A and B are shown apart, each in its own frame.
Chain A
Amino acid sequence: MIDYTHPHAEKIHQETLSILQHAPSAARLLEQAPLPPGALRIFKTLYPRIFVPDEQSLYIGLPATQDYTDIEQVIDLAAALLELKAKREGMKRPDQALDQEESLQKQHLINLDLILHTFAIVQELEDAGYKAVDCIRKQGLAPLPRVVAAS
């Protein structure tokens, strides 16, 4: 059986949650709906990714070679927590039976909503001294609020 557990999972798990507590909105999220033990799983993958399979768990994927916590993972965790909250409130990713175009449209609307809500946490992390805005800028997402406001 393939072992997907990240070799530095425990360290990254603790550090990511600890840094996220510096953003008051994220701290409130964790306080209102604490993660059950084992809910956050850090697994090995080629590219950093998050995956929220249901209302109880969230996964963060990272290359096995990464032995440190990057602000990117903290932002990813914030987005995953927001998705978890949305799922607990009834949000559902579109069904595979839908037409592909309709499905993608719904997926992207959900992603956009999550990203925009994540921005508030990004700003709070920036205010706490982390280079969170720069990380968002490198991902090409910085102009998003302006584009949404203009549309």
Chain B
Amino acid sequence: MEWSPFTVEETQAFLNRVQSPFLPGIFVVETTEISYKPLPFFQNTRHIVLENLAVAPPLSLEYLMRGDDIFYLDGSDAPLKALCEKGALILKAETVVDYLEFHCAVVVERPDDILLFRPSPALRRFKDPVHYLDFQFDQNNFGEHDITVNMRPDKGFTVHAAFVFDGKIDPATAHISTNGDITINRREGI
């Protein structure tokens, strides 16, 4: 899915919704660009990125928007839980890996950040995209085909894949419940 820009009018309207007297100077229409894209795993939901270009690299704030509801992505799982409770989650074999990747990216598990190790969307267009783990010896390559998805009897999913645990890559099994909750069990030793 491609990012689309907000018009100046849309930008102003969105800033009016999300601005806060706690942070003057951030929500300034003259220095702000906003873009959005739909998310395949949340019904009628846009992922919105607000960038203040007064500094470089830009200061980014991210949101989810569904109808009139706006959820600020603050690093906790609260905004995703709120959206799932509203019945927005579309959990199926075609969307579960995207959901898992997004969840890992926006729910920040300090101090051990966990990310799904996956080729970028641009690379995924190729037939057999591969991530090179070991640049020197060209070993331990992982690609999209190394991610396996299984549906559980309760309609939840199990995903086996490589994850990045605070910079170290290890295989792990992610359990995704129908309510959107995710637990990731690490298996050390690649």
Residues of A within 8 A of B (CB): 1-5, 41, 43-47, 49, 51, 53-54, 57, 59, 61-68, 70, 93, 96, 103-104, 107-108, 111
| A46 with B75, Cβ < 8 A, contacts A66-B108, A96-B30 known | yes
User: Complex formed: what's the CA distance from A108 to B110 in Å?
Assistant: 29
Asked if B25 CB lies within 8 Å of chain A CBs, one says yes
Q: Is B179 an interface residue (CB 8 A)?
A: no
Bound form: Cα–Cα A44–B76 in Å: 9
Apart from A103-B56, A107-B55, list 12 A-B contacts with CB within 8 A.
A2-B72, A3-B20, A3-B22, A43-B22, A46-B75, A51-B55, A63-B75, A65-B76, A65-B109, A66-B75, A66-B111, A96-B54
B62 at the interface (CB under 8 A from A): yes
B106 at the interface (CB under 8 A from A): yes
Task: Decide: A49 and B75 in contact? CB cutoff 8 A.
Answer: no
- Residues of B near A63 (CB, < 8 A) are 74-76, 108, 110
The residue in B73, B75, B107 that gathers the most chain A C-beta atoms within 10 A of its C-beta is B75
Which of A3, A41, A64 is most buried by chain B, counting CB atoms within 10 A of its CB? A64
Q: When the two chains form their complex, are residues B20 and A64 in contact, meaning their CB atoms are under 8 A apart? A: no
Listed residue (B25, B70, B78, B109) with the most chain A CB atoms within 10 angstroms of its CB: B25
The distance from the CB of A44 to the nearest CB of chain B, in whole angstroms, is 4
Q: Does B26 contact A (CB under 8 A)?
A: yes
Given contacts A4-B20, A45-B75, A107-B55, contact A66 B26 (CB under 8 A): no
Is the pair B54, A45 in contact by a Cβ cutoff of 8 Å? no
State A3–B78 Cα separation when bound (angstroms). Answer: 13
CB pair B73 A46 closer than 8 Å: yes
B25 and A111 form a contact (CB under 8 A): no
Residues on B with C-beta less than 8 A from A45 are: 61, 74-75
Cα separation A96 to B29 with both chains bound (whole Å) = 11
Is A46 touching B18 in the complex (CB atoms < 8 A)? no
Those 3 A-B pairs whose CB atoms lie nearest each other, nearest first: A53-B25, A63-B75, A107-B56
Chain B contacts of A68 at CB under 8 A?
110-111
The CA-CA distance from A108 to B109 in the complex, in Å, is: 30
- Residue from the list A59, A93, A108 in contact with B23, Cβ < 8 A: A59
A93 and B31 CA atoms in complex are apart in Å by: 12
Contacts of B24 in A (CB 8 A): 53, 57
Which residues of A have CB within 8 Å of B107? 65
A64 neighbours in B (Cβ, 8 Å): 74-76, 78
Chain A residue numbers with a CB within 8 Å of B22 are 3-5, 41, 43
Give Cα A1–Cα B21 distance, bound, in whole angstroms: 10
Contact: A54 with B110, CB < 8 Å?
Answer: no
Closest Cβ of chain B to A82, distance in Å, is: 14
Whether B59 is near chain A, meaning CB under 8 Å from some CB there, is yes
Q: Check A111–B56 contact: CB distance below 8 A.
A: yes
Minimum CB–CB distance for A51 against chain B, Å: 5
Instruction: Confirm or deny: B53 has a beta carbon within 8 angstroms of a beta carbon on chain A.
Output: yes
